[in-house]
Chains A and B, each alone.
Chain A
C-alpha cells in the first residue's frame, strides 16, 4: 500500500503537516533550544523534530524542562506516534529517531552514526524520504559533523536549510561542517531563528 500518496505535495496544503521542522544540535544545545522553541506560538502549524545529542542514560528531563518554557507542547518521542502540528518531539537518549512515510515516528537501536545515537543525519535523511521538499532543516551549535550530510540531502530534495551563524555558536564544528557541503538558504543568529520560523509559517499560510 502506498501510504505516501496521502501527502503528495499537491495535497500538502490541506494536510495537517504541510511541512516539518527538523533541528539538529549537540554541545550547547539546551541554551540554543531555549532561545528558539519558546518563540513558537501554540498554534505553530508544523511539527518540530529534534535531535539533541545526549548521554545514553539521560532521562526525559530535557523534554520536561523545554515543555515548561514553551507554548508548543514538547515531548520525548514515542514509537509509532503520529506527528502533529504545534508539537516538538525530542529523540530519546540512546535511540535513533526516524520519520516514516505515513508521518509516524520510529525509533531504532542501529549502531551510532557519526559516533552519535540519536544521530541528526539519520533523522534528516528519513525525513527527506518522507517529506522531500517540505523539510525545513536547521543545524545549530555542536562539536562534531553530524547533520551535515542530512542537511545536504534536504537541500538536494528542494527543502529549506538553515544554519546557526557559526560566529555565534558555542561550538562551531557542526554549523561549519554543514556549510562545507552546501550553501544554506539562511545563516541566522540564534535569536533570529524562532521569529524566522514564525514568519516563514505565516508567509506559507498566505501563499495557500
Chain B
C-alpha cells in the first residue's frame, strides 16, 4: 500500500468533515483515529477513504454514525479510584476554603465522572455551593448523561471503585433502581449544567477552580494538546487545579512550568502561584 497516498486521503477526509460539519479532527492522534475510521469503513462495507469522504459529504446520517465511531464513549464512575482519594484528601480541603466553587468536566462523556465528583462534593458538604459545568462534543453522550442512569451490570464495578476512593457510604445510597437501570438521585443533579463544547474549536470558560479533562488529551496530537492546555490556563481561577487521566501528563507540553503536580503520578496539577509582594 502507498502510505503517502493514504495519508493524503485521510487529510482530505478530515478537511471535508471540518468544512462541512465544523468538527475538527485534523489534530487528533492519527494512529487510533485511523483505526476508528477503518472500523467504520468495514461496518459500512466501504472500500476507501475517498468513498467515505463522498458519503459523508452527501449523507448526514452517515456522518452521524461516523461521529459516533470517532468519539470514544467509554467511561466509569470513580475510574482510577486513587485519584478520587487524593481529591478527597488533598484538594477538597483547599477548595473548602473558597466561598463559591466552579468545576468543569471537559469531555464528560455520559456523565459517570461528573456524578462521581458530585458525590465527593456532597460528602464534603460542598455541593450546594458548587456549579458544575459538564461538556462534551458528542450530543448523544450528553443526552444520555442528562438521563443519568446506568445499567445494573455496572453497579458492582462502580461500587468497588467508590469504596476504593475512600467512600464511607454505599454507592447504592445515591441511586434508585428502576427495572434494569440505576438512576442517580435528583439531589446530586441540581448543580450540574450539561452543554455542548468542542475542545478543538470552542473557547475558554469562566474562572474554574477545578477542571477535569480525563482520557481526552490522549486522543489529540501535541498541537491540539497545547491548544487545549492553553484554553484551560485561560479558564482557571488563580490557584486552580487540573485533573488529567491516569496516563496523561503536562510533562511533554510547553505549559509544564506553569503547573505543579500535587503528588507524583496523581495527575492532579495546580497552577503555580508566583510570589507577589505582600
Contacts and interface: CB of A to CB of B under 8 A. Distances in A.
Interface of A: 2, 4-5, 78-81, 92, 95-96, 98-101, 106-111, 122, 125-126, 129-130, 132, 157
Given A78-B247, A79-B247, A108-B72, A122 B35 contact: yes
The size bracket of the interface on B is 20 to 34
Nearest to B72: A110
Contacts of B215: 109
A164 to B, nearest CB: 26
A110 to B, nearest CB: 5
B219 interface: yes
Contact of A2 (B4, B217, B222, B249): B4
Contacts of A100: 29-31
B193 to A, nearest CB: 25
B106 to A, nearest CB: 16
Contacts of A109: 72, 74, 215, 218
Given A78-B247, A79-B247, A98 B7 contact: no
A157 B3 CA distance: 11
Nearest to B225: A80
Contact of A78 (B72, B217, B249): B249
B247 A110 contact: no
A108 B249 contact: no
Interface in B30-68: 30-32, 34-36
A24 B130 CA distance: 47
A108 B4 contact: no
12 contacts: A79-B218, A79-B247, A79-B248, A79-B252, A98-B29, A98-B32, A108-B219, A109-B74, A110-B35, A126-B32, A129-B6, A130-B31
- Which applies to chain B's interface (DSSP): helix, strand, loop or mixed? helix
B176 to A, nearest CB: 29
Contacts, number: 71
Contacts of A99: 31
B32 A129 contact: no
Contacts of A129: 3, 6, 31, 34
Contacts of B1: 157
A8 B252 CA distance: 26
Nearest to B245: A109
B164 to A, nearest CB: 10
A111 B30 CA distance: 17
Interface in B231-255: 247-249, 251-252
A126 B31 contact: yes
A79 B225 CA distance: 12
Given A80-B222, A100-B31, A109-B74, 17 more contacts: A2-B4, A78-B249, A79-B217, A79-B248, A79-B249, A81-B252, A95-B247, A98-B31, A98-B32, A100-B30, A101-B7, A101-B31, A106-B29, A106-B218, A107-B218, A126-B32, A132-B3
Interface string B1-25: 1011011000000000000000000
Contacts of B74: 109-111
A26 to B, nearest CB: 20
Nearest to A106: B29
Contacts of B247: 78-79, 92, 95, 107
B112 to A, nearest CB: 13
A95 to B, nearest CB: 6
B5 to A, nearest CB: 11
Nearest to A132: B3
B273 to A, nearest CB: 27
Contacts of A111: 72, 74
Contacts of B217: 79
Nearest to B8: A2
B240 to A, nearest CB: 23
